[in-house]
Amino acid sequence: MKSNFFGTSSILKKFLIFNFIVFLVLGVFTFLYLNAIKPNLIKNRSNQHSVIINNTSDHINRLSIEFTKEGVTKFLLKERYLFHNLDRVQLYDLNYNLLADTDTLDLAQDIFVVSKDVQETSIDKPEENINIDEKVTTFQKENFNTESYLKKYSEQKKIGDQLVIGEAINNNFYVITINSIKLNNENKGYIVVSEIANDILIAVDERKNFILRTVLSVAIVILIFSVFLNKYILKPIRALVLYTKAIKEKDEKINKDEKYFLRKDEVGQLSRSLSEMTENLYKRIDIAETFSSDLAHEIRNPLTSLKGASEVLENTSDGDKRKKLIKVISHDVERIERLITDYSQMLKDEASLSRAKMMKINLTKVVDSVVEDFNSDLVNLNRNIKIFVNNSNLNGSKLNVLGVESKLEQIIANLLDNSISFSPSNSKILVNCNIKKNDAQLIIEDEGPGFNEKNIDQIFNRFYSNRPEKFGEHSGLGLNIVKNIIELHGGSIIASNQPGNKKGAKIEVLLPIYK
C-alpha cells in the first residue's frame, strides 16, 4: 500500500516542492504582468495623443477650417502650440492624400510661414527634384506604410474608435494614434499622431531586468537556506529518527552521533535530552529487572523457611516446639507482607514523583514539621528519645530547594525512623540544617551503635538489613528509597560514623539550593 507523497517525503522535499509551486504561480503572474506592461504604456501614451487629437478637432470645428491643403497648413502654423510636445502630426483627406505635416513645416515660435526651402509632399507619392533642405520626413526615413495604417483604421467596425499602433521600425519604437476628423458631424479625413517612444522599451526592459534579478536573488537565498536547512536541521533530525528506530527495534549498534551533543542550539538540546531519556529508560529497565530479581530472591528465603516450618509443624506434637514454629511462620508471613508492601509503595513513589510538579520548598519548615510529628509520636509511645533541630548556622537565611514537599517529608521521616530504631533509651537525635556551598545540607546524628559494615554505602542497597533480631519488621528498602528520592531531586546522601570516640551514626543529605 503506497502512502501519500507528502505524508512520507522529507521536510526538505516538501519545502522545495512548496517553493517550486510558489515560483510557478509567481512566474505565471510575472509573465502576465510583463505582457501587460507594454500595452499599458502604449495605451497611456496614446491617451496623451487623444487629448491633442480632440483639441485639434475642436479647434478645426470652432474655427470652421476648410479641410484643404492650404486651410490645414495655415491651421498648423497658427495653432502650432498644440503640437510642440509631439514628434509629428499629419492630416490626410479621405483618399489618404497628405494635406499637412508638421515635419515639413517650421513651427518655431518666431516663424509663421512655410519654410522657403521646404516643400510639402505626399508621403506615398514623393515628387522628384524637391528640395527640403536635406530634411527627410520621419515616415519616409523609417519606411512607414501610412496608407496601410489608414486603411486599417477605416476598416474598423466603429469609425469613431481610434487606432493605436505600437511598432518597432529600424532602431526606434513608435506609438502611432489615428483618428478621424469631423466637420459638422461629417467625416472629412484623418489625423495621424506619431511619437518615438523608446522610453517604453527601456521601461519594459528595466522591469524585466528587475524581476529577473529579484527572482535570481530569491532563488539563491532559497538554495542557501535549503542547504542550511538540510545540513544543520534536517540531517540531525534524520539521525535522531534513526536513533529512536534503533532503540525501538532493539538494535545493539546504536549510533548516537556525539557531534550533535556538542551543539548549543535546540538540536543539541534535543539530542542531549533524547540521549539522557534513553539512558534513563535503560537504567529504569535495568533497575526493574534487578529489583524484580532481588525481590524474588528475598521472598524465596522466607517462603523456604515457611515451607520447612509448616512441614515440621505438621509432624510434631510438642507444644513448645509448635509455638516456636508458629512464631517463625508468623515472622515469615510478616516478612513477605512487608516486602510486597514496601516494593509496591516504592513503585508508587517513583511513579508519582515522575508525574509531580516540583516547586520551591522551604526545607527548614519541612524539617520542623516532621520532627514535631515524630516527637509527639515518641511521647505517645513512651519512647524516651528526643529529636532536636539546629538552625543556628543559617543566620536567618531560608533553605529553599526545588522539589516535591511530600517526598522531602518522606526522606526526613525515613531517616529519622532509621535513627530511632537504633537509638537506645534516654538518647537524643540531632538534625542540623546548614548551607554548604550551593547545597542545602541536612545532617542527622544519633547516639546508637553506628554502622558495623566495612563498606557503609551498602546500607543503601535494596533489601539490605543488618538487624536479624527484628526480622520481618523491616524490608531493607527504606534507605534505598531515600537514596532514590534524593537522587531524583538532584542531590546526594552520605553515611558515616561519628568521628573520634563519639558513638552513633551520621547521615548527610545534600540538595541543590533553589534561588
308-366 per-position pLDDT tens digit:
878 777 777 777 777 887 877 887 787 787 777 777 777 776 666 667 788 999 999 99
Residue 201 has pLDDT above 90, yes or no: no
- 494 bridge partner residues: 508
C-alpha cell at 316: 510434631
CATH class of 256-355: mainly alpha
Strand ranges (E), 98-241: 98-101, 163-169, 172-183, 186-196
Q: Which helix (H) or strand (E) holds 87?
A: none
Q: What is the pLDDT of residues 266-284, one digit of tens each?
A: 777 777 777 777 777 777 7
Give the Cβ contact number of residue 441 at 10 Å: 19
Domain at 5-204: CATH code = 3.30.450.20
Q: What is the pLDDT of residues 100-158, one digit of tens each?
A: 888 776 544 444 344 444 444 444 444 444 343 333 344 444 456 778 888 888 877 56
Distance separating alpha carbons of residues 247 and 241, to the nearest angstrom: 10
| DSSP 8-state symbol, 404 | -
Residue ranges of the domains in the chain? 5-204, 256-355, 357-515
45-59, 175-189, 247-261: which has the minimum mean pLDDT? 247-261
Average pLDDT over residues 2-11: 51
Average pLDDT over residues 229-248: 76
Average pLDDT over residues 458-473: 60
Distance separating alpha carbons of residues 256 and 245, to the nearest angstrom: 12
109-123, 195-209, 220-234, 428-442: which has the minimum mean pLDDT? 109-123
C-alpha cell at 52: 491633442
CA angle (311, 317, 321) in 5-degree steps = 75
Q: Which residue has the higher pLDDT, 254 or 268?
A: 268
Average pLDDT over residues 174-195: 86
| pLDDT value of position 321 | 77
| pLDDT value of position 252 | 56
Produce one character per residue of 353-365: b if its CB has 16 or more CB atoms within 10 Å, e if not.
beeeebeebebbe
Percent pLDDT > 70 in the chain is 79
C-alpha cell at 209: 531586468
| pLDDT value of position 446 | 92
Q: Can you give 287-320 as a three-state secondary structure string?
A: HHHHHHHHHHHHHHHHHHHHHHHHHHHHHCCCHH
| pLDDT value of position 227 | 83
Average pLDDT over residues 424-432: 92
Q: Which residue has the higher pLDDT, 507 or 125?
A: 507
Contact between residue 403 and residue 511 where contact means Cβ atoms under 8 Å apart = yes
* Backbone dihedral angles phi then psi of residue 90, each to the nearest 5 degrees: -130, 145
Distance separating alpha carbons of residues 335 and 467, to the nearest angstrom: 13
C-alpha cell at 442: 541536612
256-355 matches 357-515 in fold: no
Closest of 365, 496, 367, 502 to residue 442, by C-alpha = 367
* Backbone dihedral angles phi then psi of residue 159, each to the nearest 5 degrees: -65, -30
| pLDDT value of position 357 | 80
Distance separating alpha carbons of residues 46 and 69, to the nearest angstrom: 26
Distance separating alpha carbons of residues 46 and 194, to the nearest angstrom: 9
Residue 289 has pLDDT above 50, yes or no: yes
Q: Which residue has the higher pLDDT, 490 or 253?
A: 490
Contact between residue 473 and residue 337 where contact means Cβ atoms under 8 Å apart = no
| pLDDT value of position 386 | 93
What radius of gyration do the chain's Cα atoms show?
Answer: 53
292-296, 389-393, 482-486: which has the minimum mean pLDDT? 292-296
Homologous superfamily in CATH for domain 357-515: Histidine kinase-like ATPase, C-terminal domain (3.30.565.10)
| pLDDT value of position 250 | 65
| pLDDT value of position 464 | 66
Percent pLDDT > 90 in the chain is 11
Residue 401 has pLDDT above 50, yes or no: yes
Distance separating alpha carbons of residues 368 and 486, to the nearest angstrom: 19
